[in-house]
Structure formats: C-alpha cells, structure tokens
Amino acid sequence: MSQPFWRTSLSAVEPNKILIRGYRVQDLMGRCSFGDVIYLTFKGELPAGNEGRLIEMIVVSSTDHSFLAPSIDATRFVASGGVPLQAAVAAGILSLGDHHGGAIEQCAKLLQESVPAGRSAPEIVNDFRRRRQRIPGFGHPWHDRDPRTLTLIAKAKEWNLAGPCLELAHAIGAELGLPVNIDGVISGIISDMGISWHYGRAFFIIPRVVGLAAHAVEETTRERPFRAIDLNDIAYDGPPERDLP
Amino acid sequence: MSQPFWRTSLSAVEPNKILIRGYRVQDLMGRCSFGDVIYLTFKGELPAGNEGRLIEMIVVSSTDHSFLAPSIDATRFVASGGVPLQAAVAAGILSLGDHHGGAIEQCAKLLQESVPAGRSAPEIVNDFRRRRQRIPGFGHPWHDRDPRTLTLIAKAKEWNLAGPCLELAHAIGAELGLPVNIDGVISGIISDMGISWHYGRAFFIIPRVVGLAAHAVEETTRERPFRAIDLNDIAYDGPPERDLP
Amino acid sequence: MSQPFWRTSLSAVEPNKILIRGYRVQDLMGRCSFGDVIYLTFKGELPAGNEGRLIEMIVVSSTDHSFLAPSIDATRFVASGGVPLQAAVAAGILSLGDHHGGAIEQCAKLLQESVPAGRSAPEIVNDFRRRRQRIPGFGHPWHDRDPRTLTLIAKAKEWNLAGPCLELAHAIGAELGLPVNIDGVISGIISDMGISWHYGRAFFIIPRVVGLAAHAVEETTRERPFRAIDLNDIAYDGPPERDLP
Amino acid sequence: MSQPFWRTSLSAVEPNKILIRGYRVQDLMGRCSFGDVIYLTFKGELPAGNEGRLIEMIVVSSTDHSFLAPSIDATRFVASGGVPLQAAVAAGILSLGDHHGGAIEQCAKLLQESVPAGRSAPEIVNDFRRRRQRIPGFGHPWHDRDPRTLTLIAKAKEWNLAGPCLELAHAIGAELGLPVNIDGVISGIISDMGISWHYGRAFFIIPRVVGLAAHAVEETTRERPFRAIDLNDIAYDGPPERDLP
C-alpha cells in the first residue's frame, strides 16, 4: 500500500508565514546570504563561521563554462526547439551525471567514509587501481591548474574551514600525480563542513542554472530556431540502403 | 486551498487488474496493436476502422532522424554526462517544443477550429500574413517531398480516413506554395479521427523515444564520456578579458 | 580535447530520404509494426519470427497505471504548473529509475551475464542474500498474479520466443518464493531475443509516454491549475519557529 | 541547412582561464556575491549599487515552500523512483510553468512594454478584463500579505532601486484590489534593474533548486521507495469494466 502521509523537516508554510528550518524567511532575507541559506537548508543550522561565504564562492565558481560542457550544449539544443525557459534549463541539469559534476557526490562519499575509517591515500588509490576504476574528483579535461580550485583552497585555509577531508583529497591527488579538480575541492570543503555527500551534486546544479538560463535566453533571442549538428560532422556507419526482405 | 481529490477517466487499478478505458489490459495485449491502444487512450473508445493501423504508421514514421534534430543532439550530450537512460531520453523529449514537432498541436488546433467555423484556406493564410506569423505544419528544412507524408496521405485515403481537416491542410499548403510537412499531415489525420489537438505533440513524442533511447545507448556504449562542442566551432563575442572595477 | 566528430549506425538522413538501419522509413511504414521497428532499431535487423508482435504486446502492457505510480503523479503535478505537453511527459519519464521500471535493465543484465556463465538460480539468490540486496524483477507492490505477465509468458512460449533467460527468471522466482513481476518477464523476453540490457528501461519508457501524455492532457483540460498536496497530509517535524541568533 | 557555428557573449574558456562577461572567475569569487554574478551574467555588467544584494534577497526568498507547490511534489515523486539527484531536481524545475513562477516572465514583459509606452494601470486592467484574462503577478493562493514581498519592497525603496515598473505593479494591484504577489514584486524589481523579461523565470528557478535538492535528499534518505497517491484519494470516472467488442 502507498504511504498517504508526507513529512518534512525542511520547511513549514502557513498563510503569510514560511519557515526554513524554523527561521522566518523574511528574517533570512534581511540577514543571510544565499550561501548561508544553502548551508542552513542542507545542514539544518546556520553557519557558525564563514561557511556561508565559502559556499557563496563555490556557487560563483561554477555558473558557466561556454560551450565546453555537455550541460550548456544540451540546453542550447533544447532551447532551439522552442520551449519555455524552465524546460531548456532542466535539460542542461539532466546532464549533470557521473561524468559531469556528479563526481562531487562520489568523491564526497569516499572522503566521508574514508576519514572516519582512518584509510590512507595510498590504501584508497591502490584499492581503486585494483578494481581498475578512476577515483572521482581528480584531473580535468581543460584545466590542470584550475584557478577556481586554488582560490577555494586558499579561502578554506584562511577561514579555518579546511579539515581532514580536504587534506585527504590532496593526499590522494599527490598519490595519483593528478591535481584535485573543482569537483574534488568542493567535495573536500563540503565534507569538512559536515554536509552529507547526498547533497554533493547540488553544489554544481545550483550555480549552473545561472549559466544555463543565460545560454537559453541567448539562444532564443539571438539565433534561428531548430539547431542541428552539421551534416559534415556526421558519419553514418550502419548498413547501406537496402530493400525490405 | 489545494484539491485533495484525484480523478481520472483513463484507467483503474486493483490488485491483479488494470483497466484502460474499461478494458482489461491483458485483453488489449492479445487483440490490439499499440496504435489501437494509443487511439483508445486518447479517444476513449477503440477504433471502428483502420485508425489504429494509421496511427501505427504515424509512430513508425518519426522514430529517428540521425543527428539532424535538436532532440537527438540534446540526448547525445546528456547521455555523455553519465546518466541513466530515462534522463537522457527525457532531455531529448524536452526539446520537442514549438519549433520541433510542436507544430502538430498548433496545426491541429487551427484545423479543428477552422473546419467547423467554415474558414477557407485563403482566409486563414491572409489572417496569418496580416499578423506576420508562420502557419505551423508547412515546409521542412530538409524534406520538400517527404516520403513519410506521401505514404501517410495515400493510406489515409485508401482507408477512408482522410476528411475535411486533411483537405484543409492541403488547401492551405497550396495557398502558401509550401508542402504540408510531416507535422501538418499528422495534424490533419488525427483531427479527422476526432482526436483533440491537445494530444498533438504526443504523436511525435511517442515514436521519438525509440530513437532517443537508441542514440543514448549508442553514445554510452561506443563513445567517450563528456561531449563538448569543438573549440574551433565557437566564437566569443563578449567583452575582452578585464579587471574588476 | 573534445571529439568533434559524430557517428551513428542507427539512421541516415538525406533530403527526402530517411534510412533506419538501412531501410527506407516509408517501406517500414507500409509493412512493419511499431514493435518490429523497435526491434529493428535496437537490434539492427528485422525480426525473423514473432518478436515484433511480442514487443507490441510488451508496450501495450505498460501504458498506464492510474495514479498508483510515481511517474503518473509527477506528470500530474508538473502539468498543473502550466507547461507544454512534452515537459509534463518528460517529468514522468524522469521517475522511471531504479525503483520504477529500472529493474528491467538490472534484471536483464543479471540474466544476460548469468546464462552464458552457467550460474544457477540458487547461486544467484545466495549471492544477493549474502550482499543483502534485492534481486530486481521479482514481487510487485500491487499485483501478485499480474495478468500482464501471464499473458506475455504464454505468448512467448506459443511463439517459441521463451529461452534460457526467461527460464532462469522463473527459477530465481521459485527460489525466492516471489512471482516474476512485469519487469522480470520483460527482462527475460528481451534477453532471449538478444537485445542488450542497456535498452531495458526503454521497454517501459516507450509505452508509459502514452499514459503520461493522456494524464497531462486530462489534468490540463479538466482540473484547476497549481496542484499541491493537502495541508492535512503534511507533517512538519523540523525545528519550531525561532528567531535568528 | 543547419548552422555549424556557435557564438556566445556570456563566457570564454581557455586552459586554466574562465571569463564571465570578461571577468576572470577567480576574481569574481573573491569579490562578488552570487547575486552580483547573477546580475552580471544576465545584464553583462556588474551592479553599480545594491542590485546584487537585492537579487541575493530575491533568491533567498524562494528556496522552499514545503509540499505546497507542484515543484516540490513532482521532485518528491521522481526521487522516490530511484534516480540521481539531478533528475529529481530537473522534474521539479519542469513544473515552473505559466502557473508556477512563470508569472515573473509574463508580468515583467507587461511592465517592460507598458512603462515605455506610457500605459496606465486602468488601461492595462481594462484591457485584460476585456480579453477575460488574469494579469500575472497578483494574488496568491496562500499568502495575501506575503512577508517576502513586503521585505523586498522595503529594501528596493531603501536602496533606491524601486522605479516606474514596480510603481506600475502597485498601481495595477490597487486597480485589481489584489496584492502584488512575490512573482509581481520580483518582476517589478528586475524590470527596474533593466533585466530583460526573458530571464524572468530564472529568478524563481535558481533558488528553488536549493529546496528541490533538499526535498530529493530527504525523500531518498528518510522514506521508502515508490511513492504513489493513496487509493482512497482516487476516483475513477471512466467506463466500467467491459469486454472487448
């Protein structure tokens, strides 16, 4: 039988009252940054230090990446079909899977399970090598010295928000001979904040919506409808034209 | 206040019993084609003649279009992000908007409103010209003598399923000097069957899911992850690199 | 670097010509059922026997399930937000994950790996029990003697399309003391047809689009906009109203 | 023919360099709020005054609304199907249509076209009444004195960011005898900032992603899979069980 009852600890709504984790939304609007509210929503409590500022930096870091990301390209094609903004944005979000931002979830899970268990970087790396799997959160197709990661790491240290998870990420990177990429750094930071890995992908989804919306509007207002890949870029390697048997 | 009560005339479910418009699903499975069941679901009754066979032809006609459609391209990019099949397929479906199959809804609405009102093709064309709008369902970026439309029209006539709506579509095309395209022909046929224009896009969504699923699997199993448009195909025309003020 | 080159073995398009796996689409429209074309698209060749008819039965079996499925309910809520048909349908499709039709992929993978390896039902069941995992494709929250599964199994046998994969599914069900559910039966059948498990979810996505489209239209044309769960069905168990610190 | 060439004025990417509207992303991370970056992305330039702070308040205002919104409910159902986070979030976003946040686009368009044309509130109201249409952005099913709107209006005035568009919104509300709702206030504010109505829905999509992600995680981690509406809440009003003809 289905469960007729819904429950949530996130928010409560009455006429003219909206509570987020117990706080009145108008109070939050006056005093808290969007980064604070992301922290509050995911953790249940407001930050004690500069966690909200660091989350604000995380979301600023990942808004856009030109056409060099499947998310942006998917949104461009969908926008060209003649759809409302939310549909074009949703298409881009759908691409944020295991190979595109999804590594935040996987890497945060690894760090959050490994640190309490006392597993070392060499153990972890050997374990993945044995299973012939890539460790998520290391290396980048475009950026080997990603300025976003350097900035985040510097601020996490300055604000005493760098802890054992970010440290383990660095150790794994050193062991692999690969830089911790933007996904890996975000994983380390949110893990040290005590945010569950289940929320990992959200830290990429939230900011990317800004870029996706802008690309959708640009496509709709500047370009002709109905995009398609150019015939010259397509190779067909199936059966030649044939008659039905 | 919200409405706590849900109602439907489409289907009923009890343990070990599923009724579609009153018919037991196992009875339909044995005796009806998928085209029959589409007709039944949308109209409420089973076809009296060859309507189900013609719908079967409609859905066969629109399963795939190589990379030359935003839907396929969106699904390819999303699949490359590392997502489950349903997410890649959903992204392609999202693109089926006003400029990509959505014309079936618009054209069917036009036909279903114009035929009972006795509006002629010249009146309709003049009206759109006055408002400087394109009439949906005419002309095609790739196919000016689309073999799919010719086949559908021939069978609709053979099976006595071509009526005043398809006739009006032809008259509008003649007035415009443009061929009725696949969207327009489907619009005419479903309108003559008495299927509401609200269902129009479904006749493109249903078959395209087959092609989208196949492209998603092909992308996932044959290609490397994380597709992006090639740098050489991108022009940036925004502000040059600059310092913060 | 990105890969600028696109390839497909599925279809080819030239002006006024669309080939699906080499066959002209207008030829397929005249002679093949939608089930045949699904088989052709996924396998690369047309069926030799009644495979297309059995696939037609599979897709007829899963079009709708009233409100007793997350897919239908998601589409209802999204439709009530005031969106085009394709967006409402896409939302329902998105729910077709590991717990909702996704079992077809998982079960087909299990069967397709186990049969060639000669693994027996008791081995498989013990293996899952050791890992404390549920085997996908067995048991159903609503239907313990699902008439759809009985019908599919009977026809698969009648048409000599039941092979070792469907047999293994039955043996696993017997070992578990649970009926093979609709996902499990579809898994066995497509596996015996030699269709890769990667396509598994597609056999549920394709038909469900019909029901989703009908529910979206029914919601839009019969109900008031902006559905929400009733206040009386909601329990808030988060922090009580509080002041900012 | 398709257009093989992609262009954007939004961002540029080179190895180890990401420019947003010309600014290096690491510079923005250090000095700008997320609200500033939203403004920059959509307008092309950084705010001259407190625009970024006001946008930060706008996005804080709309993160969550318990189950009393189709977006949250859709995400809950989709999450219960067993899908990755981005798919559950995308489903909720899809519902943000004409009846759910989409009014921001419609109302902003109305204001941005009416103010330069010098159209008065009575003219606008009479025009909509003549066409028997609702003016988007006024009245709310839950909140007749929405604390979010009061807070936004107060700050817009305090920071000299309230202009003729917000004023016209108030005048229309007075004429209608309905409060300007959260959509209407956001419309007025972004219009006075000179942000095109095309971006309207984005101001609701961006924050709602936070709530949707949290609801998806809560559903996945606290509830059993496969949600469905309770049988007792469903009425079937279609044909009774019947035999095939």
The verdict on residue D31 lying in a domain is: yes
Query: Which chain C residues have a beta carbon less than 8 Å from that of B67?
Result: 6, 8
Q: Give residue B25's Cα distance to chain centre.
A: 25
- Mean of pLDDT values over B198-202: 98
| Number of domains comprising chain A | 2
Specify the pLDDT at position B148. 95
Instruction: Using CB atoms, pick whichever of D16, D86, D102 lies closest to residue A147.
Output: D16
Going by pLDDT thresholds of 50, 70 and 90, the confidence category of residue B238 is very high
Q: Give the A:D interface size as CB pairs under 8 Å.
A: 280
Judged by a CB distance cut-off of 8 A, whether residue B99 touches chain D is no
Specify the pLDDT at position C90. 98
Judged by a CB distance cut-off of 8 A, whether residue D140 touches chain C is no
Rounded Cα distance between A140 and A146, Å, is 9
Q: N- to C-terminal Cα distance for chain C?
A: 50
Q: Is C200 in contact with C104 (CB distance < 8 Å)?
A: yes
The verdict on residue D140 lying in a domain is: yes
Specify the pLDDT at position C2. 46
Q: Is C107 in contact with C183 (CB distance < 8 Å)?
A: yes
Rounded Cα distance between D95 and C77, Å, is 7
3-state secondary structure of B17: strand
Spatial CB neighbours of B6, under 8 Å, sequence gap ≥ 6: C67, C76, D229, D233, D234, D235
Rounded Cα distance between A61 and A80, Å, is 27
Nearest residue in C to B92, CA atom: C90
- Asked if residue A102 has pLDDT above 70, the reply is yes
Mean pLDDT value across chain D: 96
Subunits that touch chain D (at least 3 Cβ pairs < 8 angstroms)? A, B, C
For residue B157, the domain's CATH number is 1.10.230
Rounded Cα distance between D94 and A125, Å, is 40
- Asked if residue C21 has pLDDT above 60, the reply is yes
Write out the residue range of the structural domain in which residue B174 sits.
Answer: 103-199
What value does the CA radius of gyration of chain D take, rounded to a whole number of Å?
A: 21
- Asked if residue B1 has pLDDT above 80, the reply is no
CB contact under 8 A, D81 and C88: no
- Mean of pLDDT values over C44-64: 98
Query: Which chain D residues have a beta carbon less than 8 Å from that of C78?
Result: 70, 74, 91, 94-95, 97
Query: Which chain C residues have a beta carbon less than 8 Å from that of A236?
Result: 7-9, 11-12
Of A31-40, A149-158, B2-11, B114-123, least confident by mean pLDDT is: B2-11
Specify the pLDDT at position B141. 78
pLDDT, tens digit, for every residue of B53-77?
Answer: 999 999 999 999 999 999 999 999 9
- Asked if residue A30 has pLDDT above 90, the reply is no
- % chain A with pLDDT above 90: 93
Q: Is B244 in contact with D22 (CB distance < 8 Å)?
A: no
Rounded Cα distance between A131 and A1, Å, is 40
For residue D172 the two structure tokens come to 């229309």
Q: How far is D242 from chain A (nearest CA, A)?
A: 26
Going by pLDDT thresholds of 50, 70 and 90, the confidence category of residue B135 is very high
pLDDT, tens digit, for every residue of D28-79?
Answer: 998 999 999 999 999 999 999 999 999 999 999 999 999 999 999 999 999 9
Spatial CB neighbours of A63, under 8 Å, sequence gap ≥ 6: A207, A208, A210, A211, D20, D37, D41
3-state secondary structure of B242: strand
The verdict on residue B204 lying in a domain is: no
Query: Which chain B residues have a beta carbon less than 8 Å from that of D83?
Result: 84, 86-87
Question: Which residue of B2, B16, B29, B86 is the best one to mutate when testing the D interface, meaning the one whose CB has the most D CBs within 10 A?
Answer: B2
- Both B42 and B109 in one domain: the answer is no
For residue B239 the two structure tokens come to 């502000």
CB contact under 8 A, C74 and D71: no
Q: What phi, psi does B7 have (nearest 5°)?
A: -140, 150
Query: Which chain B residues have a beta carbon less than 8 Å from that of A212?
Result: none
Q: Is D217 in contact with A196 (CB distance < 8 Å)?
A: yes
Kindly give the interhelix angle for B51-61 and B34-43, rounded to the nearest 10 degrees.
Answer: 110
Query: Which chain D residues have a beta carbon less than 8 Å from that of B44?
Result: 238-239
CB contact under 8 A, A29 and D61: yes
Specify the pLDDT at position D140. 83
- Both B38 and B119 in one domain: the answer is no
- Asked if residue A2 has pLDDT above 90, the reply is no
Query: Which chain C residues have a beta carbon less than 8 Å from that of D234?
Result: 66-68
Instruction: Using CB atoms, pick whichever of A17, A229, A242 lies closest to residue C22.
Output: A242
Q: Give residue C237's Cα distance to chain centre.
A: 36
Instruction: Using CB atoms, pick whichever of A81, A97, A141 lies closest to residue B97.
Output: A81
pLDDT, tens digit, for every residue of A43-83?
Answer: 999 999 999 999 999 999 999 999 999 999 999 999 999 99
Rounded Cα distance between A183 and A191, Å, is 12
Rounded Cα distance between D6 and A89, Å, is 18
E-assigned strands of C23-177?
23-24
Q: How far is A116 from chain C (nearest CA, A)?
A: 23
Judged by a CB distance cut-off of 8 A, whether residue D66 touches chain C is yes
3-state secondary structure of C179: coil
Judged by a CB distance cut-off of 8 A, whether residue D61 touches chain A is yes
- ipTM of the modeled complex: 0.97
- Asked if residue D223 has pLDDT above 70, the reply is yes
Going by pLDDT thresholds of 50, 70 and 90, the confidence category of residue D1 is very low
- Asked if residue B117 has pLDDT above 90, the reply is yes
Mean pLDDT value across chain B: 96
Q: Give the A:C interface size as CB pairs under 8 Å.
A: 119
Going by pLDDT thresholds of 50, 70 and 90, the confidence category of residue D142 is confident
The full length of chain D comes to: 245
pLDDT, tens digit, for every residue of D69-121?
Answer: 999 999 999 999 999 999 999 999 999 999 999 999 999 999 999 999 999 99
Three-class HEC string of chain A = CCCCCEEECCEEEECCEEEECCEEHHHHHHHCCHHHHHHHHHHCCCCCCCHHHHHHHHHHHCCCCCCCCHHHHHHHHHHCCCCCHHHHHHHHHHCCCCCCCCHHHHHHHHHHHHHHHCCCHHHHHHHHHHCCCCCCCECCCCCCCCHHHHHHHHHHHHCCCCCHHHHHHHHHHHHHCCCECHHHHHHHHHHHCCCCHHHCCHHHHHHHHHHHHHHHHHHHHHCCCCCCCCHHHEEECCCCCECCC
Judged by a CB distance cut-off of 8 A, whether residue B10 touches chain D is yes
- Asked if residue C46 has pLDDT above 60, the reply is yes
Judged by a CB distance cut-off of 8 A, whether residue A6 touches chain C is yes
Specify the pLDDT at position A224. 94
DSSP B140-165: -SS-SS-HHHHHHHHHHHHTT---HH
Q: Is B161 in contact with B51 (CB distance < 8 Å)?
A: yes
Query: Which chain B residues have a beta carbon less than 8 Å from that of A73?
Result: 73, 77, 227-229
Question: Using alpha carbons only, what angle is made at residue D62 by residues D59 and D66, rounded to the nearest 5 degrees?
Answer: 150
The verdict on residue D76 lying in a domain is: no
CB contact under 8 A, A6 and C229: yes
3-state secondary structure of B84: coil
Going by pLDDT thresholds of 50, 70 and 90, the confidence category of residue D2 is very low
Query: Which chain C residues have a beta carbon less than 8 Å from that of B149?
Result: none
Instruction: Using CB atoms, pick whichever of D31, D68, D238 lies closest to residue B244.
Output: D31
- Both B111 and B187 in one domain: the answer is yes
Specify the pLDDT at position D146. 92
The alpha carbon torsion through D202, D205, D206, D208 (nearest 10 deg) reads 160
Query: Which chain D residues have a beta carbon less than 8 Å from that of B23?
Result: 242-244
Subunits that touch chain B (at least 3 Cβ pairs < 8 angstroms)? A, C, D
- Mean of pLDDT values over D147-160: 97
Q: How far is D6 from chain B (nearest CA, A)?
A: 5
Judged by a CB distance cut-off of 8 A, whether residue B222 touches chain D is no
In angstroms, the Cα distances linking A24 to A11, A202, C242, D66, D146 are 10, 23, 8, 13, 12
For chain D, give the longest Cα–Cα distance.
Answer: 73
The verdict on residue B175 lying in a domain is: yes
- Asked if residue C161 has pLDDT above 70, the reply is yes
Specify the pLDDT at position D198. 98
Judged by a CB distance cut-off of 8 A, whether residue C16 touches chain A is no
Amino acid letter, residue D145: R
Rounded Cα distance between D101 and B163, Å, is 41
The verdict on residue A149 lying in a domain is: yes
Q: Is B88 in contact with B79 (CB distance < 8 Å)?
A: yes
Query: Which chain B residues have a beta carbon less than 8 Å from that of A90?
Result: 94
Instruction: Using CB atoms, pick whichever of D9, D23, D83 lies closest to residue B242.
Output: D23
Query: Which chain B residues have a beta carbon less than 8 Å from that of C8?
Result: 66-67, 215, 218
Specify the pLDDT at position B21. 98
Identify the CA nearest to D94 among candidates B90, B65, B112, B195.
B90
Q: Is D59 in contact with D203 (CB distance < 8 Å)?
A: yes
As to burial, measured by CB atoms within 10 angstroms (0-12 exposed, 13-18 middle, 19+ buried), residue A94 is buried
Nearest residue in C to A30, CA atom: C244
Specify the pLDDT at position C217. 98
Judged by a CB distance cut-off of 8 A, whether residue A181 touches chain B is no
Nearest residue in C to A69, CA atom: C2
CB contact under 8 A, B70 and A228: yes
Rounded Cα distance between B82 and A103, Å, is 10
Rounded Cα distance between B29 and B23, Å, is 10
- Both C38 and C117 in one domain: the answer is no
Question: Which residue of A1, A78, A215 is the best one to mutate when testing the B interface, meaning the one whose CB has the most B CBs within 10 A?
Answer: A78
pLDDT, tens digit, for every residue of A142-181?
Answer: 888 899 999 999 999 999 999 999 999 999 999 999 999 9
User: Which residue among C177, C199, C221 closes a domain?
Assistant: C199
Q: Pairing state of beta strands A17-20 and A23-24?
A: antiparallel
The verdict on residue C161 lying in a domain is: yes
The verdict on residue B114 lying in a domain is: yes
Of A50-59, B116-125, C227-236, D60-69, least confident by mean pLDDT is: C227-236
Query: Which chain A residues have a beta carbon less than 8 Å from that of D148?
Result: 18, 25-26, 29
For residue C76 the two structure tokens come to 């209802």
3-state secondary structure of D87: helix
Q: Give residue D2's Cα distance to chain centre.
A: 32
- Mean of pLDDT values over D214-227: 96
CB contact under 8 A, B97 and A82: yes
- Mean of pLDDT values over C93-98: 97
- Asked if residue C3 has pLDDT above 60, the reply is no
Judged by a CB distance cut-off of 8 A, whether residue C71 touches chain D is yes
